[in-house]
A and B are shown apart, each in its own frame.
Chain A
Amino acid sequence: MFEQLKDLLVAKLKVTPESIVPEATREDIELDSLAVVELSMILQAELGVVISDDELLAAENVGEMARMMEERGAKI
């Protein structure tokens, strides 16, 4: 799931691939609050998984976001 998240961050939000590691915080990958709202929309549109922007903002790092996606049953 981490790889799917990484692919979307790179393709849709143009995040630098090298910066995306499980331990990276959203500050590390320069996702401001607006980009987190975009990510929430993208996850729903691309993978059919509903995670609110507030939930994504609460995630500690990229790895935790990927775990949330798994729990919500993201379609791969």
Chain B
Amino acid sequence: MDAHVVHRAAARAGTDVAVTGIGLVTPGGIGVAASWAAVRAGRSPAAADPLLAGGPVAFSCRVPGFDAGALLGERRALRLDRFTQFALVAAAEAVAGAGLDPLTWDGARVGVVLGCADGGPATVEGQHDRLRDHGPDQVSPLLLPMQLPNMMAGQTAIQFGARGPNLVVATACASGATAIGTARDLLALDRCDIVLAGGSEAMITPLVMAGFARMGALSRRADDPAAASRPFDADRDGFVAGEGAGVLVLERAADARARGARVHGRIIGHGASADAHHVTSPAPDGSGAEAAVRAALLDAGAGPGDVQHVNAHGTSTQLNDLAEAVMLHRVFGGGPLVTSTKGVTGHLLGAAGAVEAVLTVLAVQQGVVPPTANLETLDPRMEIKVADHETETRIDLAVSTSCGFGGQNAVLAIAAP
């Protein structure tokens, strides 16, 4: 065996990573149960958004009924941007479900790796208004502690006494998946025993939405918002902005077994790549994303034929979905059943990869491929099998793909417990 193969085998031995806790805050609802039920039902909650009234696109996928004061305490919530509020609520669910007690764990061995695309733009925009209207003396001292992207990891550390490696990664809409891959590396390198990994995003603001609209990325289906996010459909016309968070508790599988933890699934591969092509358009043949898929499979010690299910990036934009479908067909043929849960959730941007990792864990665990909402007519140029209804099937290995503006790709291979 040559050195490269020995090195790879050694790395793999340490990177059988168990998912022992999961938490979600999504437009489908607050908590894993509500979110998963909404995704399985295949109905989009996208609706007119009063905060966007008068803008070029005035609908979105908001988290319904999110009362941060009730969930986190009034005083604490007041000092947190919405993206950090989402992260803390999702993390609390994941930690509680993992059966871990932050009062007794060795905090120095607990890491936090989260991803987002933008941090707290709502805070920035609000304070910019104050600067313009009232001058610098009326700018909040909490502007930076609230809006900086890394703050959600710092606040998570404070909340749970997690004193190990602590960072936020940014690969735009791949950030959540990049965070999970990075967390897995930390466990493989024995830098931590537990990592809270995931992503959160709350960037549905008038300014951000104007920017997305100017790029031509958003669906304009204002007369029927619930039908606007339609991944892989021939009539798709752009993505619907969503918000929320997904957090997973990750541990080395051997550690999880030793403490008798309930294992939901395993993250057995991670692949990352860059298109090196264009800031917003994916390489038309999907070659960048393909490199990440193949790297994830290699990392998992698996081949394309081992994969039964793909939770696709599937944003509902013309360019992404076609490039991704071409790529998936080239790698997998017509084998695995593909879905894009963004039909229901909308596009959670930097949180998408984390939320979809949780949804993929649930799909594998329960043997259920959720439907791609609003898929009526598959784009005839696509030669892949896309689930237009919920399908029960045995899944040993699934792949979740994420692609970010900037050409960054992150892919996770997720196996049954």
- B140 in contact (CB, < 8 A): yes
Q: Chain A residues near B142 (CB, 8 Å)? A: 34, 38
Supplied contacts A30-B75, A37-B141, A38-B141, 10 more A-B pairs, CB within 8 Å: A13-B75, A14-B75, A15-B75, A16-B75, A34-B141, A38-B140, A41-B137, A41-B140, A44-B137, A45-B138
Q: Per-position contact with A for B172-197: 1 when CB-CB < 8 Å, else 0? A: 00000000000000000000000000
Residue tally, chain A, CB below 8 Å to B: 11
Residues of A within 8 A of B138 (CB): 41, 45
- A41 to B141 alpha-carbon distance, docked (Å): 10
Residues in B neighbouring A41, C-beta threshold 8 A = 137-138, 140
Report yes or no: A13 in contact with B78, Cβ–Cβ below 8 A: yes
Question: CB of B284 within 8 A of chain A?
Answer: no
Bound-state CA distance A36–B69 (Å) is 21
User: Which residues does A use to contact B, with CB under 8 Å?
Assistant: 13-16, 30, 34, 37-38, 41, 44-45
Interchain residue pairs with CB less than 8 A apart (7):
A13-B75, A13-B78, A16-B75, A34-B79, A34-B142, A37-B141, A41-B138
Nearest CB of B to A24, in Å: 15
A38 contact set on B, CB distance < 8 A: 140-142
Interface status of B74 (Cβ within 8 A of chain A):
yes
The answer, yes or no, to whether B145 is at the interface (CB within 8 Å) is: yes
Q: State whether A34 touches B145 (Cβ < 8 A).
A: yes
Q: Evaluate contact between A14 and B145: CB separation under 8 angstroms.
A: no
From residue A46, how far is it (CB to closest CB) to chain B in Å? Answer: 12
Residues 56-78 of B contacting A (Cβ, < 8 Å): 69, 74-75, 78
By Cβ-Cβ distance, the 7 closest A-B pairs, closest first, are: A37-B141, A14-B75, A14-B74, A34-B141, A14-B78, A34-B142, A41-B138
CB-defined contacts of B69 to chain A, threshold 8 Å: 14
Task: Please give, as numbers and ranges, the residues of chain B lying within 8 Å of A15 by CB-CB distance.
Answer: 75
State A34–B142 Cα separation when bound (angstroms).
7
Most buried by B among A14, A16, A37: A14
Chain A residues, Cβ within 8 Å of B141: 34, 37-38
Q: How far is the CB of A41 from chain B (nearest CB, A)?
A: 6
Bound-complex Cα distance A16 to B69 (A)? 13
Chain A residue, CB-CB nearest to B140: A38
Kindly list chain A residues whose C-beta atoms are within 8 Å of the C-beta of B75. Answer: 13-16, 30
Residues of B within 8 A of A13 (CB): 75, 78
Give A41 to B134 CA distance when docked, in angstroms. Answer: 11
Q: How far is the CA of A70 from the CA of B74 in the complex (A)?
A: 29
Distance A30 CA – B74 CA, assembled complex (angstroms) = 13
- A73 to B137, alpha carbons, bound, how many Å? 20
How many Å from the CB of A27 to the closest CB on chain B? Answer: 15
Task: Please measure, in the bound complex, the distance between the C-alpha atom of A16 and the C-alpha atom of B73, giving whole angstroms.
Answer: 11
The proximity string for B residues 130-151 relative to A, scoring 1 for CB distances below 8 Å and 0 otherwise, is 0000000110111001000000
Within 8 A of A (CB), among B97-153: 137-138, 140-142, 145
A45 to B130, CA, bound (A): 12
Q: In the complex, which residue of chain B has the Cβ closest to the Cβ of A34?
A: B141
In the assembly, what is the distance between CA of A16 and CA of B78, in Å? 13
> A65 to chain B: closest CB distance in Å?
17
In the bound complex, CA of A74 to CA of B413 (Å): 63
